[in-house]
A and B are shown apart, each in its own frame.
Chain A
């Protein structure tokens, strides 16, 4: 049974890239373009891991992360953000992110982080 990943980003190119790269290593992938849509999709079909952009219109990634972790703390979260500062990273981790990566990120790094989170 392949693991499920939900990719949440309001920017289509990032969503498409991450989705494609994950599909080519065997994950079942769905995507959402907002925090609201992500929370609905998580409720309908639980993913093992969520790749979550921080800066999105509507509920942002931090708030989305808090809500999804409150419902189901076992879902892993990899947070992506254009803000790479120490404080931003701490905020992300405080919101419940398991890993925090700043954009631009290398696809290879993202994939290996996801692989190690899902195998642990």
Chain B
């Protein structure tokens, strides 16, 4: 069995923090061991030190991104934290649907549940999918992005979706795809997936009507959070909203937003 010493753990901690802002605490050590061990086995490396040297070597960027895939957790659900979707339906969509184009950024999209939930609720508000809507869905993990593009979910995963919406926006699998559901193309065409590291400069030249950035900042320390929400501001239209996770808060941070209600902020 390969062991990870505390000193080695600390080195990974620093490497991961400096490259993607995720702060691995010591209680995540076991998680790191089990996830990285698989990567090391596939490369036939026999120590964590050797693995660390391998991933930072020039030319091994792909393995580096594999490592980030392994350490970034991706818990997500359709209609997770439903109060935000209710807020959108009652406070945002009524005026938004008058616009000729709608642009949304889902900044930590994971395997796609959140951007597709946004797409469904918006399609309901618009009464169809013919309008010019684009949802940018980004994540640091290429693995979850590939899953999100497939847009195939198990019956367990689609459970939170109200039955009429499931029927309207998903194809039900048959035969070997029994028990699987796939998002229909008419909805999928709105959602564009792209890898993006939120701790790096944001390569965007667009203003979004609102940004969803939920349950990613819990991995960041205060400095990284503050930097991120400040850097996001110019990409939100004036009066547009920033949604963060219910477990997250901007209190104690210096930021330019107006507080609306828990986990919802507005650009002034």
Instruction: Give the interface segment out of A25-33, A40-48, A53-61, A88-96.
Output: A25-33
State A23–B132 Cα separation when bound (angstroms): 15
A contacts with B, residue count (CB < 8 A):
15
Residue B203 lies at the interface, judged by CB distance under 8 Å to chain A: yes
B132 with A24: CB separation less than 8 A:
no
For B132, B136, B206, the residue with the greatest tally of chain A CB atoms inside 10 Å of its CB is B206
Knowing A12-B132, A16-B132 are in contact, say whether A23-B205 is a contact too (CB < 8 A).
Answer: yes
B101 with A24: CB separation less than 8 A:
no
A20 with B103: CB separation less than 8 A:
yes
A2 with B205: CB separation less than 8 A:
yes
Chain B contact surface mostly: strand
Residue A67 lies at the interface, judged by CB distance under 8 Å to chain B: no
Q: Which of B101, B132, B203 contacts A25 (CB 8 A)?
A: B203
Closest Cβ of chain A to B187, distance in Å, is 15
**Which A residues are CB-close (under 8 A) to B103?**
20
B contacts with A, residue count (CB < 8 A):
11
A20 with B204: CB separation less than 8 A:
no
A21 with B192: CB separation less than 8 A:
yes
**Which B residues are CB-close (under 8 A) to A23?**
204-206
Nearest to A29 among chain B residues (CB) is: B205
State A12–B134 Cα separation when bound (angstroms): 13
State A98–B65 Cα separation when bound (angstroms): 33
Closest Cβ of chain A to B268, distance in Å, is 23
State A20–B134 Cα separation when bound (angstroms): 7
User: 16 new A-B pairs (CB below 8 Å) besides A12-B132, A27-B205?
Assistant: A2-B205, A16-B101, A16-B132, A17-B134, A20-B134, A20-B136, A23-B204, A24-B194, A24-B203, A24-B204, A25-B204, A26-B203, A26-B204, A26-B205, A28-B205, A29-B205
What would 15 A/B residue contacts be, using CB atoms closer than 8 Å? Answer: A2-B205, A16-B101, A17-B134, A20-B103, A20-B134, A20-B136, A21-B192, A23-B204, A23-B206, A24-B204, A24-B206, A26-B204, A27-B205, A29-B205, A107-B192
Interface residues, chain A, CB within 8 Å of chain B?
2, 12-13, 16-17, 20-21, 23-29, 107
